[in-house]
Amino acid sequence: MIPLSAWDIWWWVILPYTAIVVFVVGHIWRWRYDQFGWTSHSTQLQERRLLKWGSPLFHYATFAAIFGHILGILVPKSVTDWLGIPETWYQDFSAVAGSTAAVGILIGAAVLTFRRTMIPRVRGTTSAVDYLALILLGIIVILGIFLTLGIEDTSHYEYRNTVGVWFRSLATFHPNVRAITAAPFLYQLHAAAAWAIFIVWPFSRLVHAWSYPLWYLWRPYIVIRSRVADRPHEPGTSGRRWRKIGVPY
C-alpha cells in the first residue's frame, strides 16, 4: 500500500475542513457586519435584455446540477442497487441530465459573463472577488462537462465508489483519502475547485443564494385598491359643497 503524501493530506483533509469552516464563519461574519451588502447587487437597471435570458437559464440549470450532485455523492451506490436500478440506466440518465444542466449553466454563465465584462455600467459594479468566483465557477462547469460527456473516457466512471465515499467520510471526521486519490485526476481537480469556491462564497455576491424569498409562498395576499379619481362626497351633502343648517349628516 502506497503511503499518503503531505499533498494528499493537504488537498483532501485540510482543504475541505478549512473550506467548511470559512464557509460557515464567513457567512456569520458577513451577516453580522455587512447585512447591507448581503444582496446580489442587482444590475437590472443598468441592462435588462441579456439579464432576462442569461439569469433564468443559469439559475435553473444550476439548481438541476446541484440536485444531481446531491443524489450522486450523498446517496451510496448500494441504495440504487437495493432499489433495483441497473448501473447502465443510472449512468446513462446521469450523462443526459448532467450534460443538459452543464450546457445550460455554460450558456447562461457565458451570457452573464459577457454582460458583466463588456457593458461598462455593469462592469463598474463588479468587485475582484466576484471575478474570482466567476473564474472558479467556469473551471467547475467546464470540468463537469468534460467528465459528463466522456472526454478521456470518464462518462461511465463510477465516481460513487471513490469521490462519493471520500465526501461522505468527511462527515464522520475520518476522511477516506485513499478513495479520492484513486479517482481520475479530472475528478480530483473538479472537487478541489468546488472547495475553493466554497471559500470565496461568503465574501462574494453568491451570498444572495440564501436570500431567496421563500416566505412569499405563504405570506398573506396584498390587497391593492385603485385610487378614487373623484373627491368623495361629504357625508350628508349628496355632493353639494354647502350644507344647510339643520340638515342631518
What is the C-alpha to C-alpha distance for residues 28 and 46, in angstroms, rounded to an integer?
30
What is the C-alpha to C-alpha distance for residues 134 and 81, in angstroms, rounded to an integer?
37
User: Binding-site residues, please?
Assistant: 59, 69, 190, 208
Q: What's the alpha-carbon Rg for the chain, to the nearest Å?
A: 27
* Three-state secondary structure call for residue 42: coil
Q: Retrieve residue 155's grid coordinates.
A: 462518462
CA nearest 200: which of 143, 142, 139?
Answer: 139
- Output the CA torsion sign for 188, 92, 70, 67: positive
User: Binding-site residues for heme b, please?
Assistant: 59, 69, 190, 208
Is the CB of residue 121 less than 8 Å from the CB of residue 115? no
* Three-state secondary structure call for residue 216: helix
What is the C-alpha to C-alpha distance for residues 89 and 189, in angstroms, rounded to an integer?
26
